[in-house]
Amino acid sequence: MLVLTRKSNQSIMIGDEIEVSVLSVMGEKVRIGIQAPQKVPVFRKEIYLEIHREATGVAPLPDGTVPEKVAEVDKSLRDLGEGS
């Protein structure tokens, strides 16, 4: 895991198309903004896990790997991001 320190109004880039910005820091809460192409699905982790759980019947393992239906679920997630 890469750990970075950022202040309000600072950003990081993921590849050439995804920008994650720190919008504000209030106590222990951090507001972030994510600017990504519409084809890239962006979900809160708990929503992402629920989508996987519903599609496959199981959640991803702690190491991030998931059962064999991964390609099918990932395609569905991308389709959601594209508005299909």
Q: How confident is the model at residue 37 (pLDDT cuts 50, 70, 90)?
A: very high
- The fraction of the chain above a pLDDT of 90, given in percent, is 50
Alpha helices in the chain (DSSP H): 45-56, 70-82
Question: In sequence order, what DSSP letters do the residues of 8-24 get, joined into one string?
Answer: TT-EEEETTTEEEEEEE
Q: How confident is the model at residue 3 (pLDDT cuts 50, 70, 90)?
A: very high
What are the beta bridge partners of residue 57? Answer: none
Residue 71 has pLDDT above 60, yes or no: yes
Q: Is the pTM of this model over 0.75?
A: no
- Round to whole Å and give the CA distance between 8 and 20: 11
79 or 36, which is more confident: 36
Which pLDDT value is given to residue 34? 97
Q: How far apart are the first and last CA of the chain?
A: 32
